A and B are shown apart, each in its own frame.
Chain A
């Protein structure tokens, strides 16, 4: 199985900050990487697919980059509604493993 490692596991930031979350795959997955946002008590929401494509309806302050083994999710200017847990997921091969999550909270 491909292992997905996110860093950091938790992050405190302020409104307006630029935030970057990284995700590393244990082997090359080309651009087969999705990012999800999950707020407490809610189901996940797709933000980015294929490493850098913005899902319809997702604000443009979210962006993704990377290929191979190293990927990043960037939020250009944090908004109050962005405080949540973020997960990467490889879509390259079964079992389509998720990272352990990055919890983003208010500083």
Chain B
């Protein structure tokens, strides 16, 4: 069974850096064709893709957020970390990670999500 779980602060202040960790089980990021993606969903709004990392360390970022995002993996510990700098209240959202399939750029399953509020 594949599971993913997001962790990180529930509240960050404007201008701070957000660090989120996706801890997963049931697959390995050393397996060809496998990746982990990050997404967010502001309250009541649609989903946005943020970043993606594959088994071969191929890293992909949303062009509009590229300058603020960094994605890394720790294959031995089954973790993927996303950092987002210069947080703003508009970044308030539920953040999700999900397993990615290289061939189709499809994402499943997803973690339960973690709500991050940006406020002073």
Chain A residues at the B interface, C-beta cutoff of 8 Å: 1, 32, 34, 36, 38, 43-46, 49-50, 53, 55, 87, 89, 91, 94-101
Contact = CB atoms under 8 A, between A and B. Distances in A.
Interface string B39-51: 0000000111100
B56 interface: no
Interface stretch (B26-34, B61-69, B82-90): B61-69
B49 to A, nearest CB: 4
Interface in B79-120: 96, 98, 101, 104-113
15 contacts: A32-B104, A34-B105, A43-B96, A43-B111, A49-B101, A49-B104, A53-B104, A94-B49, A94-B61, A94-B62, A95-B48, A95-B62, A96-B52, A97-B49, A98-B48
Contacts of A98: 46-49
A95 B46 contact: no
A45 B106 contact: no
B4 to A, nearest CB: 9
Interface residues of B, number: 23
A44 B110 contact: yes
Contact of B60 (A1, A49, A94): A94
A105 B52 CA distance: 32
Given A34-B106, A38-B47, A44-B110, 17 more contacts: A34-B105, A36-B47, A43-B110, A44-B47, A44-B98, A46-B106, A46-B108, A49-B106, A50-B104, A50-B106, A55-B106, A94-B60, A94-B61, A96-B52, A97-B49, A98-B46, A101-B46
A98 B60 CA distance: 16
A38 to B, nearest CB: 8
Contacts of B105: 32, 34, 91, 96
B96 A91 contact: no
A89 B47 CA distance: 9
A96 B113 contact: no
Contacts of B63: 1, 94-95
Kindly name the residue among B52, B106, B110 whose own CB sees the greatest number of chain A CB atoms within 10 A: B106
Contacts of B108: 45-46, 55
